[in-house]
């Protein structure tokens, strides 16, 4: 079993290659067979000993080789020596690394088996999106504000320049609280249809200048489907100061969108209508999915309906009528101006993560939520 | 709303293609949301804001296009030319019809009785207008055009215009008209009805046509309905009216719900020969209320409640008349009957250029501002010499423009929003966090770290759930989406259990969820929205997170499994509560009924309840068809918020070695660990660092109703190494304390 140095009669290159190859394999086998420190030390000594070690024996045997083969033999011999030394060295390092315990190479583990993962909870994509947006605006000087979900008609509509019976109220699909008939209209309770009432509540308590961001839950009487939910999330912003202009509104949102979606997105503003802002606008960002081309390879880009633009939010300059409701707290529309904006956090999360059904956000399905872990 | 670009092009000669037109209209807020068809059949799907009824028709869109491209807009012609055309085409061939119509007119005998009725109503202050003599149109018949119209509600009907056609024929519309209506997905009915529909889509003014012979008493009265008065509307529905409804009536009955829908009994039929065309201006709020009250949202009410063009009543009547005459022949009788009870007052607005600059920023030239206003039909007269401010008057179709800011918006809109330079405003304020932000963030981070997926559930629950899960007074919805979602949640529990069930029904066995949010209650007559955190976990998940070798209860059998599972879930709750500031956290069993009475607990921070948690009761589990035992924790964030987060105060680890002593006892089941802990800590040993259970066992040689428990005391002194004698003394005290609870020490 143990290797012995055989006599060589053929000194051709092929014969030498074969002979030295056999010696290498034999050495490796012996080393692997060793299962204790004493064992591998014995293997080392048998091969490397100056006196009568196998390497020495080979060297001695080859003294008889013809002169013309000596040079080649020298190279093979050197190579074998280095191989043996290297193997022994690796072996030794490995052994010294394991704490007093022999861990033979052949006992290595299957590193391709899956790791044991302690469960880590996943952030909800809508809340994650909201928090990211909040951070973007905090860096621009915005503080988070909040307010009640069950609102009065006054804050949800009247003070936002939706007069009683105004057709603009129709677009809000409001859910009302029962049993309010006995109250004056402005006192009647409803589920806020937007986070905008917090604009009024904040301006009632804080004097200008202000910069606030209002993330929150809102409700509409929309039966659930792939793109509607009776409950969803908005992120509202408001900035009021002396000399806030429409250019400031555009610049702020353009900056925020680049921060959120990436510096390559562009913004575009189109006229729109909201009772509480004037001028009012809808803001689009260049499609961050297709890069604004409207196509993804050969396929049309669905998220932007091939237009290259995606509608993200509604915004505008605060209507002077809104300021009239909080005029006494320093919001004289002759002296201050401001802008407001509002976006759907759920919609942005849908677009950002390519989710195709809004209902998935509200089912608590771990197969869905776990994807954000 | 649908718009045919081909039709728009009739009014303005556009050089751009439909695609470009769509983009440019969208750019000024006349949004084209989509396009279908091709060539002449192209149809734009429009999205037009509630403030722009003037643009909800082809001429209005053409007006915007003309403004965008600085092109001339063709005048809409009523009877000026097409009326004349109608006459030349049809007058002679319809001589027979003319005769017949005059017969009808006479036979009805309306003329004299109408005159009487009119004079009788005139005395009570209502408006009564004697029809103008016919002058302008060449299509006027020789008959007396008199048709008295009495407006009893001048505030609600400031203008009522009518025209009369006699001797026409009702038949299908010409193909051009029918085709256009079909393109807009309007169903062609007959030439007369289609004429009103066509004009509505052409220039936006709703009109109505009556079969004049079915109008009893030969006159119209604009009045409030009588309570209980009946009116069968065009849709065939018999409606019961109330006194707040405004109607168009003849001498005997209501014949139309003002601005909403005409009456069935006076509608145009195949037999109709004589037509009265109505074009009025109705009070928007009145129309809106009626439309809602009767659940009738019509193309007409949609426009009236947003404000129609006061100046277009005559033109619209003429356009309808021209179309009817062209297709059905007949004669126009007299001139337009135009009852104006009140002028719409559009006061000029002062526009200051400085204000334009203050709101919009940028540098708009005065020339550009004036150009835009002129293109949109506004007039601007300089006030003073400096050209710094102007008196701006909006056109009659723009009732939405009343204030300076409205004019500024028009300037920005047509200039192009994207042309304004992006700027960032300076700010001198500071960013402030909400008072509870740090606490909520800490709790959330911990829940995530513990392996709970963050969930968001709907805020509605059923009455039954509200009753079961909370004693709070609920906020009920007036118009809920469903019975199961009829009240605002008073507890996060039902939503969490539903989500757990959802997962179990989809073969996800290993589920951990948490949700933070508000519940909604009435308290002391006021609504409150306290915040809550909720954990939910399936038994499989709870068992899965048990540490290998970490079991305390090593007995065999179900009880040990249950006990360990509870302890696992309790550990998660403790981890969530740990960062808050408190002296003592204790637990009792006073949980709500939906919890398993033996496997749930309340957590009290210094005596105040902050959470309840544990396994869900068996009956709740079966009611909700939960396929596995589940655990629920409800945490009262309001209570936690009042405590704030604990501030860490560093404590040096002891310098001297600690000593552990184990004590093995057998106790009756009724003696809980908490009693032992209290008994031992009550000894006041300064060196007692901890007192913990190490192993619990039931069965074997331990008798029924009893259990063995291995307890470990860790002792350490700050003054020096503990001496064996001292340890022995303390051990003795400890054993006696435990014996005092009925414990029997094992060898
Ligand atoms: Zn795209």
The percent of residues above 70 in pLDDT, for chain B, comes to 91
> Does A147 reside within a domain?
yes
Q: What is the CATH number for A260? A: 3.30.930.10
Of the candidates A224, A362, A370, which has its C-beta nearest B456's C-beta?
Answer: A362
User: Could you list the residue range(s) of the whole structural domain that residue A101 is in?
Assistant: 13-106
Residues A182 and A302 in one domain: yes
Q: Which helix (H) or strand (E) holds A75?
A: helix A67-97
Residues A249 and A289 in one domain: yes
Angle at B422 between CA B420 and CA B425, to 5 degrees: 120
Q: How far is the CA of B52 from the centre of ligand 1 (A)?
A: 30
Q: How far is the CA of A289 from the centre of ligand 1 (A)?
A: 5
What backbone phi and psi angles, to 5 degrees, belong to A274? -135, 140
Domain B349-418 has CATH 3.30.56.10: yes
Return the bridge partners of A212, or none.
Answer: A143, A238
Q: What is the pLDDT of residues B361-403, one digit of tens each?
A: 988 999 999 999 998 999 999 988 777 899 999 999 998 899 9
Residue given tokens 């020789």 in the structure block: B142
Work out whether the CA dihedral A51, A54, A60, A61 comes out positive or negative. Answer: positive
Are both B349-418 and B659-745 of the same fold? no
Q: How far is B426 from chain A (nearest CA, A)?
A: 9
Q: Which two tokens stand for residue B667?
A: 């106790």
- C-alpha span between B349 and B329 (Å, rounded): 46
Q: Are B209 and B277 in contact (CB under 8 A)?
A: yes
Which three-class secondary structure state does DSSP give residue B695?
strand
Residue given tokens 């303390």 in the structure block: B730
Of B47, B500, B530, B457, which Cα lies nearest the Cα of A230? Answer: B457
> Does A275 reside within a domain?
yes
Q: How confident is the model at residue B558 (pLDDT cuts 50, 70, 90)?
A: confident
Q: Are B24 and B68 in contact (CB under 8 A)?
A: yes
- C-alpha span between B661 and B694 (Å, rounded): 11
Buried b (16+ CB within 10 A) or exposed e, B403-423: bbbbbbbbbbbbbebeebebb
- C-alpha span between B503 and A270 (Å, rounded): 43
Q: What is the pLDDT of residues A14-28, one digit of tens each?
A: 888 888 888 888 888
Mutate to test the interface with B, among A176, A257, A279, A333 (most CBs of B within 10 A): A279
Of B513, B501, B181, B600, which Cα lies nearest the Cα of A366? Answer: B513
Q: Which two tokens stand for residue B508?
A: 């996800």
The CATH number corresponding to B437-643 among 3.30.1240.10, 3.30.930.10, 3.40.50.300, 1.10.3860.10 equals 3.30.930.10
Cα torsion A203, A205, A209, A210 to 10°: value is -70
- Fold of the B75-340 domain: Phenylalanyl-tRNA Synthetase; Chain B, domain 3 (3.50.40)
Residue A37 has pLDDT above 80, yes or no: no
- C-alpha span between B489 and B469 (Å, rounded): 9
Per-residue model confidence (pLDDT) at position A108 = 66
Distance of CA A157 to the CA centre of its chain: 38
Residue A361 has pLDDT above 90, yes or no: yes
Per-residue model confidence (pLDDT) at position A253 = 98
Q: Which of A56, A74, A106 is the last residue of a domain?
A: A106
What are the strands, taking DSSP E only, across B669-718?
Answer: 688-697, 706-715
Residues A101 and A173 in one domain: no
What are the strands, taking DSSP E only, across B76-187?
Answer: 127-129, 149-151, 159-166
A245 contacts B360? CB cut-off 8 A: yes
- C-alpha span between B691 and B705 (Å, rounded): 24
Per-residue model confidence (pLDDT) at position B548 = 73
Q: Are A144 and A134 in contact (CB under 8 A)?
A: yes
> Does A254 reside within a domain?
yes
Average pLDDT, chain B: 88
Q: Are A160 and A152 in contact (CB under 8 A)?
A: no
Q: What is the pLDDT of residues B274-290, one digit of tens each?
A: 999 999 999 999 999 99
Q: How far is the CA of B35 from the centre of ligand 1 (A)?
A: 18
A143 contacts B455? CB cut-off 8 A: no
A146 shares contact with chain B (CB less than 8 Å): yes
Chain B residues 35-94 with CB within 8 Å of chain A: 49-52
Per-residue model confidence (pLDDT) at position B15 = 95
Per-residue model confidence (pLDDT) at position A30 = 83
- C-alpha span between A175 and A188 (Å, rounded): 12
B478 shares contact with chain A (CB less than 8 Å): yes
Q: How far is B433 from chain A (nearest CA, A)?
A: 6
> Does A33 reside within a domain?
yes
> Does A112 reside within a domain?
no
B436 shares contact with chain A (CB less than 8 Å): no
Q: What is the pLDDT of residues B72-90, one digit of tens each?
A: 999 887 665 443 333 322 2
Structural domains in chain A (count): 2
Mark residue A354 as left, alpha or beta (left: phi above 0; alpha: psi -120 to 50; beta: remaining): left
B230 shares contact with chain A (CB less than 8 Å): no
CB atoms within 10 A of CB B442: 16
Residues A45 and A90 in one domain: yes
Q: What is the pLDDT of residues B203-242, one digit of tens each?
A: 999 999 999 999 999 899 999 999 999 999 999 999 999 9
Burial class of residue B56 in the structure, from the number of CB atoms within 10 Å of its CB (0-12 exposed, 13-18 middle, 19+ buried):
buried
Q: In what order do the strands lie in the sheet with B331-340?
A: B208-211, B275-281, B159-166, B331-340
Q: How confident is the model at residue B118 (pLDDT cuts 50, 70, 90)?
A: very low
B453 shares contact with chain A (CB less than 8 Å): yes
> Does A142 reside within a domain?
yes
Q: How far is A311 from chain B (nearest CA, A)?
A: 12
The CATH code of domain B659-745 reads 3.30.70.380
Q: In what order do the strands lie in the sheet with B453-454?
A: B453-454, B512-518, B531-538, B630-636, B608-616, B595-605, B585-588
B545 contacts A246? CB cut-off 8 A: no
What backbone phi and psi angles, to 5 degrees, belong to A141? 95, 15
Of A4, A88, A94, A20, which Cα lies nearest the Cα of A48? Answer: A88
- C-alpha span between B13 and B402 (Å, rounded): 31
Residue ranges per domain, chain B?
Answer: 1-74, 75-340, 349-418, 437-643, 659-745
Average pLDDT, chain A: 89
A245 contacts B359? CB cut-off 8 A: yes
Is the bond preceding residue A279 a cis peptide, omega within 30 degrees? Answer: yes
Q: Which two tokens stand for residue B381?
A: 């007269």
Per-residue model confidence (pLDDT) at position A107 = 57
Cβ-Cβ pairs closer than 8 A, A with B, add up to 241
Which three-class secondary structure state does DSSP give residue B147?
coil
Residues A153 and A23 in one domain: no
Q: Which two tokens stand for residue A46?
A: 């048998």
Q: What is the pLDDT of residues B648-693, one digit of tens each?
A: 999 888 899 999 999 999 999 999 999 999 999 999 998 999 999 9
Residues A218 and A299 in one domain: yes
Residue B742's contacts (CB-CB under 8 Å, 6 or more residues apart) are: B667, B668, B671
CB atoms within 10 A of CB B244: 12
- C-alpha span between B719 and A72 (Å, rounded): 78
A176 shares contact with chain B (CB less than 8 Å): yes
Per-residue model confidence (pLDDT) at position A118 = 85
> Does A256 reside within a domain?
yes
B455 contacts A245? CB cut-off 8 A: no
Residues B189-206, mean pLDDT to the nearest whole number: 95
Q: Are B615 and B628 in contact (CB under 8 A)?
A: no
Q: How confident is the model at residue A165 (pLDDT cuts 50, 70, 90)?
A: confident
Residue B500 has pLDDT above 90, yes or no: yes
Q: Are B479 and B540 in contact (CB under 8 A)?
A: no
CA distances from residue A274 to A169, A264, A319, B442, B593 in whole angstroms, order as listed:
10, 29, 9, 38, 48
Residue B712's contacts (CB-CB under 8 Å, 6 or more residues apart) are: B660, B661, B662, B663, B690, B691, B692, B693, B694
Residues B606-617, mean pLDDT to the nearest whole number: 97
Residues A215 and A277 in one domain: yes
B353 shares contact with chain A (CB less than 8 Å): no
Residues A130 and A74 in one domain: no
Residue B110 has pLDDT above 50, yes or no: no
Q: Which helix (H) or strand (E) holds B537?
A: strand B531-538
Give the 3-state secondary structure of B242-287: CCCCEEEECCCCEEEECCCEEECCCCCCCCCCCEEEEEEECCHHHH
Closest residue in B to A224 (Cα) is B481
What backbone phi and psi angles, to 5 degrees, belong to A57? -60, -45
DSSP, residue by residue, B344-405:
-----EEEEHHHHHHHH-S---HHHHHHHHHHTT-EEEEESSSSSEEEEE--TT-TT--SHH
- C-alpha span between A170 and A184 (Å, rounded): 20
- DSSP code at position B81: I
Per-residue model confidence (pLDDT) at position B145 = 52
- C-alpha span between B210 and B267 (Å, rounded): 5
Architecture of domain B1-74: 2-Layer Sandwich (3.30)
CB atoms within 10 A of CB A299: 9
Residue A130 has pLDDT above 80, yes or no: yes
CA distances from residue B452 to B266, B427, B444, B506, B536 in whole angstroms, order as listed:
68, 40, 9, 18, 8
Q: Are B698 and B707 in contact (CB under 8 A)?
A: yes
Q: How far is the CA of A196 from the centre of ligand 1 (A)?
A: 30
B406 contacts A320? CB cut-off 8 A: no
Going by their DSSP bridges, the two strands B220-224 and A189-191 should be labelled as unpaired
Picking from A91-105, B88-102, B509-523, B587-601, which range would have the lowest pLDDT averaged per residue? B88-102
Of B221, B222, B238, B219, which Cα lies nearest the Cα of B230? Answer: B238
Residues A63 and A183 in one domain: no
């Amino acid at each position: 079993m143990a290797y012995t140095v055989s006599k060589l009669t053929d000194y051709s290159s092929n014969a030498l290659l074969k002979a030295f190859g056999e010696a290498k394999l034999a050495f490796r086998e012996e080393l692997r067979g060793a299962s204790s420190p004493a064992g591998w030390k014995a293997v080392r000594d048998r091969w490397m000993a100056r006196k009568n070690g196998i390497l020495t024996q080979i060297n001695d045997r080859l003294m008889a080789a013809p002169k013309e083969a000596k040079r080649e033999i020298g190279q093979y011999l050197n190579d074998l020596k280095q191989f043996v030394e290297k193997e022994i060295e690796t072996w030794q390092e490995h052994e010294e690394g394991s704490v007093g315990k022999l861990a033979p190479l052949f006992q290595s583990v299957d590193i391709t088996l899956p790791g044991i993962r302690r469960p880590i909870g996943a952030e909800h994509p809508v809340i994650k999106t909201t928090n990211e947006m909040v951070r973007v605006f905090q860096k621009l000087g915005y503080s988070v504000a909040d307010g009640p979900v069950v609102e009065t008609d006054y804050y949800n509509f009247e003070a936002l320049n939706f007069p009683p019976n105004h057709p603009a109220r129709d677009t809000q699909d409001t859910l009302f609280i029962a049993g309010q008939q006995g109250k004056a209209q402005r006192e009647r309770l409803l589920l806020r249809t937007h986070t905008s009432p917090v604009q009024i509540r904040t301006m009632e308590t804080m004097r200008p200048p202000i910069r606030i961001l209002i993330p929150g839950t809102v409700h509409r009487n929309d039966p659930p489907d792939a793109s509607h939910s009776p409950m969803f999330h908005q992120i509202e912003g408001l900035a009021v100061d002396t000399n806030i202009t429409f250019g400031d509104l555009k610049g702020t949102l353009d900056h925020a969108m680049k921060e959120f979606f990436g510096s390559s997105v562009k913004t575009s503003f189109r006229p729109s209508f909201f009772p509480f802002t004037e001028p009012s606008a809808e803001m689009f960002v260049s499609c961050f999915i297709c890069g604004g081309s409207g196509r993804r390879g050969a396929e049309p880009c669905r998220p932007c309906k091939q237009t290259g633009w995606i509608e993200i939010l509604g915004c505008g300059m605060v209507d002077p009528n809104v300021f009239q409701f909080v005029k006494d707290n320093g919001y004289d529309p002759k002296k201050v101006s401001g802008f407001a904006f509002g976006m759907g956090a759920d919609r942005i999360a849908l677009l950002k993560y390519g989710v195709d059904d809004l209902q998935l956000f509200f089912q608590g399905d771990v197969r869905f939520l776990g994807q954000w872990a | 709303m649908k718009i045919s670009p081909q039709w728009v092009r009739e009014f303005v000669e556009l050089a751009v293609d439909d695609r470009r037109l769509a983009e440019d209209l969208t750019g000024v807020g006349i949004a084209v949301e989509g396009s279908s068809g091709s060539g002449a059949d192209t149809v734009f799907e429009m999205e037009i804001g509630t403030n722009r009824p003037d643009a909800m028709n082809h001429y209005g869109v053409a007006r915007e296009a003309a403004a965008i491209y600085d092109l001339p807009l063709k005048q809409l012609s009523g009877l000026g030319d097409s009326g004349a055309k109608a006459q030349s085409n049809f007058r002679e061939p319809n001589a027979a019809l003319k005769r017949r119509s005059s017969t009808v007119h006479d036979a009805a005998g309306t003329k004299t009785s109408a005159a009487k009725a009119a004079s009788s109503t005139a005395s009570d202050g209502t408006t009564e207008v004697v029809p103008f003599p016919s002058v302008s149109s060449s299509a006027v018949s020789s008959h007396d055009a008199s048709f008295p119209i009495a407006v009893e509600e001048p505030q609600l009907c400031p203008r009522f215009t009518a025209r009369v056609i006699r001797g026409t024929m009702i038949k299908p519309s010409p193909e051009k008209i029918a085709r256009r209506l079909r393109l807009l997905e309007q169903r062609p009915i007959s030439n007369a009805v289609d004429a009103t529909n066509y004009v509505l889509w052409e220039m936006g003014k709703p009109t109505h046509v009556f079969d004049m012979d079915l109008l009893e008493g030969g006159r119209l009265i604009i009045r409030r309905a009588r309570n209980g008065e009946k009116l069968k509307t065009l849709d065939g529905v018999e409606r019961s009216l109330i006194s707040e409804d405004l109607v168009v009536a003849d001498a005997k009955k209501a014949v139309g719900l003002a601005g909403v829908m005409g009456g069935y009994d006076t509608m145009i039929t195949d037999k109709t020969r004589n037509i009265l065309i109505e074009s009025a201006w109705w009070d928007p709020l009145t129309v809106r209320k009626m439309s809602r009250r009767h659940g009738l949202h019509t193309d007409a009410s949609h426009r009236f409640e947003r404000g129609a063009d006061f100046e277009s009543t005559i033109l619209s009547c003429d356009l309808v008349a021209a179309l009817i005459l062209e297709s059905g022949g007949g004669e126009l009788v007299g001139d337009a009957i135009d009852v104006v009870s009140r002028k719409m007052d559009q006061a000029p607005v002062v526009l200051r250029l400085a204000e334009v600059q203050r709101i919009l920023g940028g540098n708009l030239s005065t020339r550009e501002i004036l150009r835009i206003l002129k293109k949109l039909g506004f007039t601007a007269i300089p006030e003073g010499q400096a050209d710094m401010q102007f008196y701006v008057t909006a056109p009659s179709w723009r009732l939405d423009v009343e204030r300076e800011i409205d004019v500024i918006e028009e300037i920005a809109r047509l200039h192009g929003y994207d042309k304004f330079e992006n700027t960032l405003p300076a700010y001198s304020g500071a960013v402030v966090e909400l008072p509870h932000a740090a606490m909520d963030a800490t709790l959330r981070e911990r829940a995530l770290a513990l392996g709970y997926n963050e969930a968001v559930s709907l805020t509605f629950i059923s009455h039954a759930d509200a009753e079961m899960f909370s004693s709070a007074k609920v906020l009920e919805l007036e118009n809920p989406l469903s019975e199961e979602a009829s009240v605002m949640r008073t507890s996060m529990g039902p939503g969490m259990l539903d989500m757990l069930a959802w997962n179990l029904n989809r073969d996800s066995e290993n589920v951990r969820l948490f949700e933070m949010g508000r519940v909604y209650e009435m308290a002391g007559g006021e609504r409150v929205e306290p915040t809550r955190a909720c954990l939910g976990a399936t038994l499989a998940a709870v068992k899965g997170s048990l540490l290998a070798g970490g079991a305390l209860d090593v007995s065999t059998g179900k009880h040990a499994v249950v006990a360990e599972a509870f302890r696992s879930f309790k550990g998660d709750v403790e981890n969530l509560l740990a960062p808050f500031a408190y002296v003592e956290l204790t637990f009792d069993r006073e949980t709500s009924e939906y919890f398993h009475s033996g496997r749930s607990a309340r957590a009290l921070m210094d005596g105040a309840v902050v959470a309840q948690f544990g396994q869900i009761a068996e009956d709740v589990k079966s009611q909700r068809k939960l396929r596995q035992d589940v655990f629920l924790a409800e945490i009262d964030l309001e209570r936690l918020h009042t405590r704030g987060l604990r501030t860490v105060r560093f404590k040096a680890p002891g310098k001297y070695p600690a000593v552990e002593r184990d004590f093995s006892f057998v106790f009756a089941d009724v003696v809980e660990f908490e009693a032992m802990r209290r008994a031992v800590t009550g000894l006041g040993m300064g060196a007692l660092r901890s007192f913990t259970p190490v192993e619990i066992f039931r069965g074997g040689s331990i008798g029924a109703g009893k259990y063995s428990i291995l307890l470990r005391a860790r002792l350490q002194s700050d003054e020096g190494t503990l001496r064996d004698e001292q340890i022995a003394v303390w051990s003795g005290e400890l054993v006696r304390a435990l014996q005092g609870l009925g414990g029997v020490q094992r060898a």
